[in-house]
Amino acid sequence: MSYAEMYARARDDAEGFWMDAAEAIDWVEKPSKALFDDNAPLYEWFRDGTLNTCWNAVDRHVEAGHGDRVAIIYDSPVTDTKSKITYAELQSRVAALAGGLKAKGVGKGDRVIIYMPMVPQAVEAMLACARLGAIHSVVFGGFAANELAVRIDDAQPKAIIAGSCGIEPGRIVKYKPLLDGAIELASHKPEFCVILQRDQERAEMIEGRDFDWYGFQEGTDPADCVPVEGTHPVYILYTSGTTGAPKGVVRATAGHLVALYWTMEKIYDCKPGDVFWAASDVGWVVGHSYICYAPLFHGNTTLVFEGKPVGTPDAGTFWRVMSEYNVRAFFTAPTAIRAVKREDPKGELIKNYDLSGLRAVFLAGERADPDTIHWAHDHLGVPVIDHWWQTETGFAIAANPLGVEEIPVKIGSPSVPMPGYDVQILSDEGHPVPTGELGAIAIKLPLPPGTLPTLWNAEERFRKSYLNTFPGYYETGDAGMIDEDGYLYIMARTDDVINVAGHRLSTGAMEEVLAAHPDVAECAVIGATDDLKGQMPVGFLCLNAGTSRDEGELVGEVVKLVREKIGPVAAFRTAVIVDRLPKTRSGKILRGTMVKIADGEDYKMPATIDDPAILDEIGVALKRIGYAGG
């Protein structure tokens, strides 16, 4: 079947297409149909089926005789550790962990927050929750206590599972004090915490609340998989929106299983048993879908890599890992390739390794710039596939479906829509724009299985954020165009979300932190273009009347504040003091124009600006810190 035939079938016979795909999954009770639209525009998939995520990820492979197959490879240059876990071992480890949780009262529907570094136990914790029908919410280790607290209050977890520390090059990140701080800040208190003590940092335990990972499992029975209905949430994953309050993206069990399983063969061209490596973090959607779930659903070997593209120990690490484990499909963010390219521009280190098993490289998380794609393609000699997706969708909206047909690559485009995604470009008024013209990217409802059915405890916000702007469509928050061959181009966000080193961040959240500084009357944060990280946040600070501050000192204070309140991942390092901010007459800050000035690009004078002279002032301020051609 060609890509075009496959796409057309999913469009014209969605029931048949997705019910066929559902055959690949083990059900306790099969669903009577795929789509339930009685509550449109809220849609549900496979509602009346029952099944279990962990069974499909682990147990069924053991039952099928593949217990000896490696499920997880752990490679950690930062701790100098390598190990392998077979499917049979994974089954007993996950069942034991789930048994410990169950003995402490965790059951179907309870939330469990997971705050862990890139160790196999992070994946085991996710699977143990899924085994019990408990809903996990993984929080990225680079977030500070305050961000963790916000998620604790929203998800209201019964338990928190955490590692004692994470390891960043050159420093140990002590998770436990962050966890304790977050629990203190949060109004909701978990009943208990499970702590994985790592050799690099032993955490101090709070008697009666904290339990040791291994100790608390002792004397408990391994837990069986609990069947749940198809729409039961398997996880909540918080992501950045326009305001400081993160959005809790909900993933429904059945659609997630069906869609992710489908992608492993059709997009990533993998057969069960192949080694799949997503060099991301379990704290992000890429980590959920392609470190933990999809490879395991499909019976592949997944790689948990605790290291960085460079510096652990060098820019050859990616190639070393690929050759050592015969990786077939490699997935990372363009920024990681840029980091490698910067250290080893000629790709000399690649020559030290046998990469003959590599089928393709997949890029997502941010715009893949042509230089990066060319460099990877020229040096690796395999297809380099840009694909576009979001936390909300859980898998690619647009991609090149290598396992179906490799369609011609157009550099700069993540290729074509995947089955079930009717992608359209709309004008501000919600009308489709002509081919090749820019507009808001929207997807005609319903979205395919695996995509978010709602936001956790926030249905109104779900409607407002995604459904209300263009009735009948899902609003992606991205702007772009579709060319005459149906290829998509993703150009920019339509909201205040920025993308720093493949990490999705809210400038609104940073502005909330800056505004809380006692000397700051007003502020703005923009994402300026950065050669390595794609974008970097830049802050503008207007001081309270009569306040005079040394710029360097004040900037140091706000940088520290953002690190404390949001976390190091925000990579907020730069700010300037300005007298005033450019605004429209109705008071809207002209962030888009400020980005253009920072990037040294031409810009059109906004017709509605209240005083054009402010733009010159912004340019002068930006030059002072090395932007705007300064």
- Of 177, 158, 70, 175, which is closest to residue 106 (Cα–Cα)? 158
Minimum CB distance to ligand AMP, residue 388 (Å): 4
Q: How many residues bind ligand AMP (CB under 6 A)?
A: 20
Select from ligand AMP, ligand COA, none the partner in contact with residue 335, using the beta carbon and a kind-dependent cut-off of 5 to 8 Å: ligand COA
From residue 232 to residue 271, the character string flagging contacts with ligand AMP as x (rule: CB under 6 A) and all else as - is -------x--------------------------------
Smallest distance, ligand COA to C-beta of residue 140, A: 6
**Residue closer to ligand COA, measured from CB, 95 or 340:** 340
C-alpha span between 262 and 266 (Å, rounded): 6
- Nearer of residues 280 and 300 to ligand COA, judged by Cβ: 280
Per-residue b or e along 8-32, where b marks 16 or more CB atoms closer than 10 Å to that residue's CB: eebeeebeebbbebbeebebeeebe
User: Least distance to ligand AMP from the beta carbon of 205, Å?
Assistant: 34
366 binds ligand AMP (CB under 6 A): yes
Give residue for tokens 């029931």.
Answer: 15
* Residues between 448 and 477 that touch ligand AMP (CB under 6 A): 477
When asked if residue 495 is in the footprint of ligand AMP (CB under 6 A), the reply is no
Residue 31 contacts ligand AMP per CB under 6 A: no
Please report how close the Cβ of residue 483 comes to ligand COA at its closest, in angstroms: 25
Cβ 528 to ligand AMP shortest distance, Å: 16
Cα-Cα-Cα-Cα dihedral sign, residues 282, 421, 465, 133: negative
Find the binder of ligand AMP among 318, 388, 462, 540 (CB under 6 A).
388
Question: Residue 509, interface with ligand AMP (CB under 6 A)?
Answer: no
Is the CB of residue 302 less than 8 Å from the CB of residue 277? Answer: yes
Q: Are 500 and 534 in contact (CB under 8 A)?
A: yes
Question: Minimum Å distance from CB 356 to ligand COA?
Answer: 25
Nearer to ligand AMP, 230 or 365 (CB): 365
**Residue 335 near ligand AMP by CB under 6 A:** no
Q: Within 13 Å, how many C-alpha atoms sit on residue 629's CB side?
A: 7
Q: How far is CA 235 from CA 27, 53, 114, 295, in A?
A: 19, 11, 11, 17
CB 135 within 8 A of CB 110: yes
100 or 365: whose CB is closer to ligand COA? 365
In the stretch 336-365, what mask flags binding to ligand AMP with x, by CB under 6 A? ----------------------------xx
Extract the tokens encoding 96.
Answer: 């034991």
For 553, other C-beta atoms within 10 Å of its C-beta total 8
* Structure tokens, 30: 């099969």
Decide whether 239 or 465 has the Cβ nearer to ligand AMP: 239
What are the two backbone dihedrals, phi and then psi, of residue 528, each rounded to the nearest 5 degrees?
A: -90, 150
Which residues would be at the binding site for ligand COA (CB under 6 A)? 141-142, 166, 168, 173, 280-281, 284, 286, 308-310, 333, 335-336, 339, 364-365, 500-503, 533, 568-569, 571
Other beta carbons within 10 angstroms of residue 177's beta carbon come to 13
Angle in degrees, CA 80, 82, 86, rounded to 5:
160
Q: Which amino acid is at 242?
A: T
Nearer to ligand COA, 454 or 535 (CB): 535
173 binds, among ligand COA, ligand AMP, none (CB under 5 to 8 A by kind): ligand COA
Distance CA 354, CA 194 (A): 41
- Report the C-alpha gap between 23 and 620 in whole angstroms: 62
- Residue 13 CA to residue 1 CA, distance in Å, equals 15
Interactions with ligand AMP, residue window 271-300 (CB under 6 A): 285
Q: Tell whether residue 372 is a contact of ligand AMP (CB under 6 A).
A: no
| Interface contacts to ligand AMP, rule CB under 6 A | 239, 285, 364-368, 386-391, 414, 477-478, 490, 493, 499, 504
